[in-house]
Chain A
Amino acid sequence: MDAHLMLGNEAVARGAWEAGVRVAAAYPGTPSTEIVTSLARYDDVYAEWSTNEKVAYEVAFGAAMGGVRALTAMKSAGASVAADPLISSVYTGVNGGLVVCLAGDPGMSSGMTEQDDRYFGRISSMPMLEPADSQECYEYAKRAFAMSEEFDVPVMVRLSIQTAHQKSIVRFDGEVGAGGGDDPVALRRPVPERRPPDRKTEKYCLLPKFSRPLHRSLLERVERLRAYAEASAASGELARAEPGTGAFARIGIVSAGAAAISAKEALPEASHLKLGMIHPLPIEAIREFAATVDRLFVVEELEPYLEEQLLAAGIACEGKRWFPQWGELTPVRVGRGLVAAGLDLPRWAEEKAAEDASVIPRPPVLCTGCPHRGMATAMKKLDLDVHGDIGCYDLTTLPPVSHMHSAVEMGASIPMEQGFTRAGGSEKGSIAVIGDSTFLHSGLTGLLNAVHQRTNVTVLIQDNSITAMTGGQTNAGNVRTLAGAQTKPVDIAAICRALGVEHIESVDPYDYEACVAALKAGHAFDGPAVIITNRPCMLFPSKLPGDAHYVVDEDVCNACQQCMKLGCPSLHHVEATHKGRHKVAIDSETCTGCSLCAQLCKPGAIKKAGDA
């Protein structure tokens, strides 16, 4: 059989495609994004970037009600946004299969929190599978669709960032798309069947009259799922018990997903029970395994989700006492925990450095020519209280720009600015900063509220015409959809007008003085004010070449460092100094000619190449 090296997310997409998924909807969010990006490449899947995760969930839910197999995918924070339909759809159940992929981010590589998403299974009673590598991503995605239709319930495939973003070998098991290689574009499958669409008031209208009996049938369904969990664990399909060898054979480890991989790497000789279904738990299978060992460890990332359920079932085990409740549980962290628990493991006996922490850090920065830079510098100059949102502009929270004072969750900027203003605001003024995609995701309602409550908020919409931070996905402001169809881009200024904003100013973020003037005018206006920047992202959808580059006249440069405060990666210090400070040069290869540094240069040392 052909071996394919696939990302976990790509393997989920492949499994879903083979299972006959027809509709996929998501809002981009690391580490879940590639699931729908991959599905969009198959000709016969309708895939969309929805305006937010709740909308995406409801689109997929509606498609399932309409009789086809559907999928939605999200990051942890996205599940919180979609929590309402996520919980309600377990009451109603589905028609065509509905699979919910939820990719968590222990370690917070890109998330704002490291919430433990496994509790969504318990809070909603949605069954939950957790794959550990790409092969399982592929297999579990297929199984999830079958389960969803068998039990008439959405099924969650829960991934950890490691599982979603590692690449490992997948061997396809069916005839669907067999021999078609890795390129989805070339693959064909039989047209998946559509079930008759549901038209069942008592199933989908959650009025108390209907939802009370639905809750009782939901609880009955949980019991049937529990039996399924036990049966599939006993058969080895969704749980794998591997007896240990040698001195560690009587040490048992229960785990699932990425943590199971780390546990196996940390102590391969132990007896391992790797769970594939994590809600409801196959507790009797775990009890049986526990009886074969002298000491049982539970290895899991973040909260003691499994550990508490084992203890509640009367299964003695050790977990969070030895393994941290924060961050990714890498093999070394599992190994160090086992050493702390008294095991003699030479490989993990001493702490080894992963890297030399004294070497200058290299965090990501705003790209050369990024349209966010001008406004960030202008806000810093005016010393505003800045309520940010979720987007690349958060990179200016750190030095050298360091102008942002909150960046919490999608859509928070405008309501937080409103509340801050209601609290009395600040002396120099405050402002909400939000990007186009986030504004369309969940900014509108906040702005509408501020207008309705007659609060004098100032809002900066950094419109770069793309969802940049997650890698350049389309949004409602674009002329094309994910599927490539031509569409009408939304007019953000017109939305603001319709919401009742009377001061709306469009500004070129490459014009520093215009940025400062627009911020001042916005604050001076008596009423809610919106400022919209009008330059596109330099990186997405394709890298822009920019304009003629700029050069520094070293004789004129007085090393005042104004330009360096922009945090532009194309500016760097040279050997030459003035009054002990290094002078500056511009990298001609990468400079895109945005000219902000020249505008800030008081002695006039920076000129367009050729003009000098």
Chain B
Amino acid sequence: MNGKQSKSAAPNACAVHYADGVVDDIMVVGVGGQGVIVAAAVIADTALLHGDLEVKLSETRGMSQRGGSVSSHIRIGKTVVAPSISPGEVDYLLAFEQAEGLRLAPSVVPGGVAIVNLQQIVPPLASQGEFAYPFDAVERMDDGSRRLIALDGNAIALEVGDLKVAGIVLVGALSTHLPFDVATWREALARNVPPKWKDLNFAAFAAGREAGA
């Protein structure tokens, strides 16, 4: 589907959204340690908890915990075959870091949505001189070929109370584009975060929802 926006939380919103053959291809990207895996689990669980939908997910392979690029693919629809998204078919790109957003930008379908966190993490390789870090990543992504939503997830997370929930702020921003109601999102959040941090995550999600709308 091509970046269709659905803010409605009506019970049949999903049935309308996920007509036969419609699959939402959502890619979450970032740097190892940023919380990409948890964010992807929340998105996939929301679709699972909604029921009547097929959900498939696949993640970066290799040593992602050691500061490397991380990506997670989530595919949601009435029927989903492959667990990974094919090149150029991403409907929603959720980038936790600017350069990672820029790296995957070509994979977003024309008219798709890219939500980019303003955080910049310069990899050690930048000091070797061969590659320069793209400090203008957001400007470069804003070339009209996709809908760009840039937000300062880290600042919003700090306002809410903890930098750790920046990823959930971004999930909140994405949630306004998907046809699931807030109660289902909250249920999925509760499944994926420690109980003592549940309220903090709910607050981060709500703040992200506001920022991404």
Q: Is residue B107 contacting chain A, with contact meaning CB distance below 8 A?
A: yes
> Is the Cβ of B124 less than 8 Å from the Cβ of A572?
yes
> Is the Cβ of B127 less than 8 Å from the Cβ of A3?
no
> Is the Cβ of B124 less than 8 Å from the Cβ of A568?
yes
- Identify which of residues 150-178 in chain A touch chain B, using a CB-to-CB cut-off of 8 Å: 161-162, 165-169
Chain A: CB-nearest residue to B104: A355
Interface locus among B8-16, B55-63, B167-175: B55-63
B side interface size, CB within 8 A: 49
Q: Is residue A262 contacting chain B, with contact meaning CB distance below 8 A?
A: yes
The docked-state distance in angstroms from the alpha carbon of A30 to that of B105 is 29
Interchain Cβ contacts under 8 Å between A and B, 6 examples? A265-B81, A355-B103, A361-B131, A364-B65, A365-B67, A573-B127
The docked-state distance in angstroms from the alpha carbon of A169 to that of B53 is 10
Contact flags A348-391 to B (C-beta < 8 A → 1, else 0): 00001111100111111111000000000000000000000000
Q: Is residue A392 contacting chain B, with contact meaning CB distance below 8 A?
A: yes
Q: A3-B51, A356-B103, A539-B65 are in contact. List 15 more A-B contacts (CB 8 A).
A: A107-B61, A332-B87, A360-B99, A360-B133, A362-B31, A362-B67, A363-B68, A367-B66, A395-B66, A400-B127, A569-B124, A571-B127, A573-B126, A573-B127, A584-B127
The interface of chain B, by Cβ under 8 A from chain A, is 31-32, 44-45, 48, 51, 54-59, 61-69, 81-84, 86-89, 99-100, 102-107, 122-128, 131-134, 137
> Is the Cβ of B56 less than 8 Å from the Cβ of A166?
yes
Task: Name the one of A262, A268, A361, A539 contacting B125, with C-beta atoms under 8 angstroms.
Answer: A361
Task: Name the one of A353, A392, A400 contacting B107, with C-beta atoms under 8 angstroms.
Answer: A353
A169-B55, A572-B127 known; A364 and B62 CB under 8 Å? yes
Task: Name the one of A31, A167, A261, A356 contacting B105, with C-beta atoms under 8 angstroms.
Answer: A356
**Closest 10 pairs between A and B when the two form their complex, measured CB to CB:** A109-B61, A352-B88, A364-B68, A166-B83, A360-B131, A354-B87, A364-B66, A265-B82, A364-B63, A167-B57
A264-B81, A359-B103 known; A165 and B58 CB under 8 Å? yes
The docked-state distance in angstroms from the alpha carbon of A359 to that of B133 is 8
In whole Å, how far is B82's beta carbon from the nearest beta carbon of chain A?
4
> Is the Cβ of A359 less than 8 Å from the Cβ of B102?
yes
Chain A, interface SS category: loop
The interface of chain A, by Cβ under 8 A from chain B, is 3, 5, 30-31, 107, 109-110, 133, 161-162, 165-169, 261-262, 264-265, 268, 330-332, 335, 352-356, 359-367, 392, 395, 399-400, 469, 471, 539, 561, 564, 567-569, 571-573, 582, 584
> Is the Cβ of B102 less than 8 Å from the Cβ of A356?
yes
Chain A residues with CB under 8 Å of B55's CB are 5, 167-169
Chain B: CB-nearest residue to A109: B61
The docked-state distance in angstroms from the alpha carbon of A469 to that of B82 is 28
The docked-state distance in angstroms from the alpha carbon of A264 to that of B81 is 7
A359-B134, A572-B124 known; A110 and B63 CB under 8 Å? yes
Chain B residues with CB under 8 Å of A361's CB are 69, 123, 125, 131
Chain B residues with CB under 8 Å of A363's CB are 68-69, 125
> Is the Cβ of B100 less than 8 Å from the Cβ of A331?
no
Chain B residues with CB under 8 Å of A166's CB are 56-58, 83-84
The docked-state distance in angstroms from the alpha carbon of A46 to that of B64 is 30
Chain B residues with CB under 8 Å of A162's CB are 58, 83-84
The docked-state distance in angstroms from the alpha carbon of A363 to that of B64 is 9
Task: Name the one of A107, A362, A400 contacting B100, with C-beta atoms under 8 angstroms.
Answer: A362
Chain B residues with CB under 8 Å of A564's CB are 124, 127
A355-B106, A364-B66 known; A331 and B82 CB under 8 Å? yes
The docked-state distance in angstroms from the alpha carbon of A353 to that of B69 is 17
> Is the Cβ of B68 less than 8 Å from the Cβ of A362?
yes
A169-B55, A354-B107 known; A261 and B81 CB under 8 Å? yes
In whole Å, how far is A469's beta carbon from the nearest beta carbon of chain B?
7
Chain B residues with CB under 8 Å of A169's CB are 48, 54-55
A168-B56, A169-B55 known; A392 and B66 CB under 8 Å? yes
> Is the Cβ of B62 less than 8 Å from the Cβ of A110?
yes
Chain A residues with CB under 8 Å of B134's CB are 359-360
The docked-state distance in angstroms from the alpha carbon of A567 to that of B66 is 12
Chain A: CB-nearest residue to B47: A5
> Is the Cβ of A571 less than 8 Å from the Cβ of B124?
yes
The docked-state distance in angstroms from the alpha carbon of A573 to that of B190 is 40
In whole Å, how far is B194's beta carbon from the nearest beta carbon of chain A?
15
Chain B residues with CB under 8 Å of A568's CB are 124
> Is the Cβ of B59 less than 8 Å from the Cβ of A362?
no
> Is the Cβ of B106 less than 8 Å from the Cβ of A356?
yes
Chain B residues with CB under 8 Å of A30's CB are 61-62
Chain A residues with CB under 8 Å of B66's CB are 364-367, 392, 395, 539
Chain B residues with CB under 8 Å of A569's CB are 67, 123-124
> Is the Cβ of A165 less than 8 Å from the Cβ of B59?
yes
Chain B residues with CB under 8 Å of A107's CB are 61
